[in-house]
Amino acid sequence: MNDETVISHKLSLYPLAGEYIATLDYQPTIKNKTCQKIETIVILDRSGSMGQSVTRIGTKILPLFFQKLNYDFNEKIHLITFDHMADYTYLEIHELPNLSGFTARGGTNMSTGIKTFHEIVKKLAAERTKFLRILTISDGEVVDGPQTIEEAEKVTEFLNDYEITISSKTVRWFTSSSQPDTTALCCLMQLNNILDSKLLDITYNVSFEEAASAWASLFVNDGMFNVTHISCEAPTFLKYPWDSDALDSLLLVPGKNTFWLKNVPENLKIENHPVDIEIHDSISYHYLQNLLADKVDLIISRLKILKIVESSKASETINKIQAYFKKIENEVPEPELEMPSDDKTLKNRIKLIKFRSGKQSISTILSEIANDNMVHKLNSAQKAAYLRQTMVTKDSKSLARRSAKCTGELDFDEIARKEALNIAENFHEIADIDDSGHEISFYSQATTLEGIRTLIEFTKDEAFKNASVLEILELLNIVGVACNGPVRNYPDPSTWFIKNIYPSCFVSLADILSVLNQCEDNKLLVPAYDDEITNSIPIFDDPRIGKFLKRYARSLLDFTFSIGMRQMIAEVPKTVDYTMIAGVRCMIDLISKDKASKNLDIFKNIVASVENFAGKFDVDELLVAQQCGLNGYFLDNSGISEMIVPFIRVIRQNNPEVGDQLPAMLRSIFDYEIWLNIRRSYKGIDSGKKLIEDMMIILLEIDVEKHKINADEPAPSPLVYYDSFEINSTYVKELTENFKHLNIVASIPVYLNAVINGTLDDMKTIPALDTNSFLNALDINYSYDEYMFFNVFQALVYTTKLERCDTENKTMKIIDLKNYEEAVEDVKSYVRRFFKKQHNIDLARIRKINAIYLVDPKYSDVNEQRYLMRIQKDPDFAKMAVKKIIEATNYDGMIEAWRNGIELNERGFRVVGTGSFGFRMLKMALGTFTLDIPMRSEIIRTILLGVDRQNKEVWNKGKPYLIGRKVLQYYKTAFTNNSSNEEWTKLYKEWDHLFKLHNGGS
């Protein structure tokens, strides 16, 4: 290293448990990003379920990944791919795009890859390699779990004897709904010994750029390009404080470094520059905690990984870690703390936070992890979540600290502390507000402004420096109306809704969070009721408070209400806005039934709060006098929640041209909401189009056989397709039975107008919503049942946003259902298209028959050929072929019956493919468990694999029958009802990669 890159440094040394703990601030004056030789190993799963991802990763994503980390394209990397065997390639990065024969194959046997990895590591260790990066990518559950753990343990034991700095990161690559194997990936994550370990979840269908950026983010701050060594004469440095073997040098990264030593070092140097040593007589408990702060995440992460791996070596290391931290805490005990009283005031909450902070020692946290006997019972998804849970923030309920993006995690603690200081620094802007008449939380007996003052007081306390986001949120007492709603992820906060609201009950999310941390039952209940409070709809009695928090603590607001919505810390924009909007929507529903003065007052306050707080909505600019013609009002696919605040603004502006189009807006919103709800019945289903067609046949009462044009006869001239229909009212009601709550769309402008331009008494005179008032609000001049029918029809026919609207030109493509005659014609047009399609299908079938049999020398009479084709498709004829298979009493008889089928007119007929009627009948028989089928399990095995036990073709051209997970469950049930679970498990594991490939693998 150049002499200019190092300045003088001082090492502070503190005695600890018979050894020493040291801290050193390393600051190179010049960042040298090319001075270290880094070996890089990529371990890639190439099992069958990875599909095209193998080629895309190797030739597209990896080159981008290395580019983002500033690798030279002439640099060599080690590439290991594994399935049932492992392949190894040592190549230059620029060769990656030209890799050939790089495809998916076989099962997920990670132990083969780790064996090869071990051999490479041995070679690198012999070459005195000091820096190693490892990237592992896998998509599935390994079939050799115990062997994978065993091989990884061998590598771990080998590396303990070498001073290699390892940055090992892993990617759970989702090619389907199946979970990648977290335990197997942890086997490689445990090798990491720099900063904290990283586990990334990402799906196969992201762009190459997005994937490469996400992967690079795992390594970008690992310090590998900007590190140096501190050295001394004799082995003194400890790689881990619980190890006994010492080293003569240790890695330093820019900034604060904390490490352990066995003795006072002699001739201490950084790159040949002497280092001054300051030896202290002792170390205090609090200073020790501060020194350990930057190590705790790494230690906890390592402990959790070891807990998941759970090998004998891992368990031994866990015990060593526990013993060490108990030892040092016994030597440097924590000061005695007085337990605060159990009063619920905010000031006492600060005392509780400080008390919990003191009581939650590192050894306590580590013991909780080490003694957690439930970890091995978690599935792969739960293990991944377990690794990401926060530990050092005293979060007893393990609320996940994660952002919505896949490119890295946010430091929520740092963001929270920064915004708390922003509040304190700028509080003078709202200091003159008198909150004596503001709403008070029944739990803390404090107003929102009191919560802000308490938080400011906490920022002056020493404990604030290490305060977690959850501790800060416990004090940010934003008071609102108590409610109960579902808790889910909600990436789109507009979809959150309220189940129950309690207008007389005021509380804050800070109270709910405080109860989660204190009470045994972990629930805050509505006074005098047993109903749980999960969220609070904020009310800002003075609009300046809401605007102040929005300006200086926007993230804290999103964090706060994310707990109520998701029960996790997440920064999702407009979480607060849509929490208040859900409150408006719920209150309109409530006051339409109960117009008690208290309810009307609460409604008015929530509307005022959301109006003053909410920001710009994308749909705002669309609320103009549109020239729609026969088509609907364009709102860019906006639903009820997206439109509440824009409606408030439209009413407030009182623009007649826009106001006159309010019914058109309501129709557009209602139509969109119906579409959203109806499409749940077919979205994501492989046979979705067929399902929709079947639903339309029922909805329009179409009699296909009666009204289709016979393709066997000459076509009539002119060719006119049937277009009449009957509305199946019963089916419409069945489909829309659960959508009645959407009718509230008609009431929203009425109540908003009353609260903005009228009085509370005006709201009391608003009549209850019925079908007539609903139709009047939407300006519909025909029956309610017909209107619902047309909405359902459009939802089933125009199934995508692209079919429904033109976002570029900001126009709708579908008919405005105010136009009855045009709506009827739209349905008729569909019926004509339906019968035209049926006719074309029949014609194509006839043409195919002619093409096949006119060249068949066995038959001269075309009519005879058509007769044979029809009889082959006849259900009774198919039943005969299936009957032979299912009645067979032994394996050879079943296979023979399947292969031979039945004979008719010197021609054989049998079940040969997945599209045949006979196969559908065979599936139906297998699923009828009351039917005695002696060889049921063997038939299912043959269906799934396509071959017999000698690997000879039986049906489906001898290929496996690729099916989805839901259908696979059907076969599993049929199989295990007639055989053993062990036999099914063996069969499933053998062909697991094929099942997964069909379930979303690229």
pLDDT of residue 558: 92
Give yes or no: residues 636 and 678 share one domain.
yes
Q: Which amino acid is residue 356, in one-letter code? A: R
Question: Residue 121 maps to which CATH number?
Answer: 3.40.50.410
Q: Is residue 353 in a domain?
A: no
Give yes or no: residues 270 and 174 share one domain.
no
Question: How does strand 76-82 pair with strand 38-45?
Answer: parallel
pLDDT of residue 1002: 33
Res 274 pLDDT > 70: yes
Q: What is the mean pLDDT of residues 329-345?
A: 66
Q: What is the mean pLDDT of residues 827-853?
A: 78
Res 947 pLDDT > 70: yes
Does residue 543 have a cis bond before it (omega within 30 degrees)? Answer: no
Q: What is the mean pLDDT of residues 249-274?
A: 87
Which of 268, 283, 298 is the last residue before a domain boundary?
A: 283
Domain that holds residue 898: 874-997
Give yes or no: residues 460 and 583 share one domain.
yes
pLDDT band of residue 712 (cuts 50, 70, 90) is confident
- Half-sphere exposure (Cβ direction) of 117: Cα atoms closer than 13 Å: 31
| pLDDT tens column, 871-880 | 344 445 667 8
Res 359 pLDDT > 70: no
Give yes or no: residues 210 and 240 share one domain.
no
| pLDDT tens column, 905-930 | 455 678 888 777 778 788 878 777 67
pLDDT of residue 81: 94
pLDDT of residue 508: 95
Q: What is the mean pLDDT of residues 756-773?
A: 91
Q: Is residue 886 in a domain?
A: yes
| pLDDT tens column, 432-478 | 999 999 999 999 999 999 999 999 999 998 888 888 888 899 999 99
DSSP summary character for residue 172: E
Q: Is residue 949 in a domain?
A: yes
Q: Of all helices (H) and strands (E), which one includes residue 288?
A: helix 285-309
pLDDT of residue 4: 43
pTM for the structure as a whole: 0.56
| Beta bridge mates, 815 | 631
Residue 294 structure tokens: 């930057």
pLDDT of residue 949: 86
Short-list 390, 392, 413, 410, CA closest to 400: 390
pLDDT band of residue 988 (cuts 50, 70, 90) is low
For residues 126 and 138, what is the distance between their CA atoms, to the nearest angstrom?
Answer: 29
Mean pLDDT across the chain: 83
| Beta bridge mates, 911 | none
Range name among 338-342, 730-734, 757-761, 796-800 with the lowest pLDDT average: 338-342
Res 771 pLDDT > 70: yes
Q: Of all helices (H) and strands (E), which one includes residue 935?
A: none
Give yes or no: residues 72 and 159 share one domain.
yes
CA distances to 120, 341, 509, 512, 520 from 516, rounded to whole Å, are: 49, 17, 10, 6, 8
Short-list 1002, 1001, 973, 972, CA closest to 989: 972
Handedness of CA 912, 915, 917, 918 (dihedral sign): positive
pLDDT of residue 716: 80
For residues 918 and 982, what is the distance between their CA atoms, to the nearest angstrom?
Answer: 30
pLDDT of residue 416: 92
If one compares 220 and 989, the residue with the highest pLDDT of the two is 220
Q: What is the mean pLDDT of residues 172-194?
A: 85
Short-list 55, 219, 43, 304, CA closest to 148: 43
Q: Is residue 534 in a domain?
A: yes
Give yes or no: residues 905 and 816 share one domain.
no
Res 485 pLDDT > 60: yes
Angle at 189 between CA 48 and CA 989, to 5 degrees: 30
The number of folded domains in the chain is 5
Length of the chain: 1002
Res 395 pLDDT > 60: no
Give yes or no: residues 470 and 506 share one domain.
yes
DSSP summary character for residue 815: B
**Conformation bin of residue 627: beta by default, left when phi > 0, alpha when psi is -120 to 50:** beta
Res 578 pLDDT > 50: yes
For residues 296 and 638, what is the distance between their CA atoms, to the nearest angstrom?
Answer: 46
Res 358 pLDDT > 70: no
pLDDT of residue 39: 93
pLDDT of residue 904: 57
Res 316 pLDDT > 90: no
Q: Is residue 700 in a domain?
A: yes
Q: Is residue 300 in a domain?
A: no
Q: What is the mean pLDDT of residues 252-266?
A: 88
Non-local (6+) Cβ contacts of 545 within 8 A are 430, 433, 448, 449, 452
Q: Is residue 920 in a domain?
A: yes
Which of 261, 283, 305 is the last residue before a domain boundary?
A: 283
If one compares 1002 and 356, the residue with the highest pLDDT of the two is 356
- Half-sphere exposure (Cβ direction) of 996: Cα atoms closer than 13 Å: 30
Range name among 61-70, 112-121, 564-573, 889-898 with the lowest pLDDT average: 564-573
The owner of tokens 């003075």 is: 542
DSSP 80-105: EEESSSEEEEEEEGGGGGG--S----
Give yes or no: residues 137 and 158 share one domain.
yes
Using CB atoms within 10 A of its CB, is residue 609 exposed (0-12), middle (13-18) or buried (19+)?
A: buried
If one compares 534 and 244, the residue with the highest pLDDT of the two is 534
Q: What is the mean pLDDT of residues 245-265?
A: 86
Q: Is residue 802 in a domain?
A: yes
Range name among 65-79, 482-496, 956-970 with the lowest pLDDT average: 956-970
pLDDT band of residue 105 (cuts 50, 70, 90) is confident
CA distances to 42, 417, 560 from 424, rounded to whole Å, are: 48, 11, 18
- In percent, how much of the chain has pLDDT > 90? 40
Res 846 pLDDT > 80: no
Give yes or no: residues 23 and 44 share one domain.
no
DSSP summary character for residue 332: S
Give yes or no: residues 272 and 210 share one domain.
no
Per-residue burial over 59-77, b if 16 or more Cβ lie within 10 Å, else e, is bbbbbbbbebbebeeeeeb
DSSP 430-479: TTT---TTS---TTT---HHHHHHHHHHHHTSGGGGG--HHHHHTT---E
Which of 178, 197, 225 is the last residue before a domain boundary?
A: 225
For residues 195 and 297, what is the distance between their CA atoms, to the nearest angstrom?
Answer: 8
pLDDT of residue 977: 62
pLDDT band of residue 671 (cuts 50, 70, 90) is very high
At residue 999, the 3 state secondary structure works out as coil
Residue 608 structure tokens: 């005022």
Range name among 383-387, 614-618, 657-661 with the lowest pLDDT average: 383-387
Give yes or no: residues 672 and 787 share one domain.
yes
- In percent, how much of the chain has pLDDT > 70? 84
Q: What is the mean pLDDT of residues 884-895?
A: 90
Give yes or no: residues 471 and 427 share one domain.
yes
pLDDT of residue 873: 45
Q: What is the mean pLDDT of residues 203-230?
A: 84
Question: Residue 252 maps to which CATH number?
Answer: 2.60.40
| pLDDT tens column, 402-432 | 332 322 345 788 899 999 999 999 999 999 9
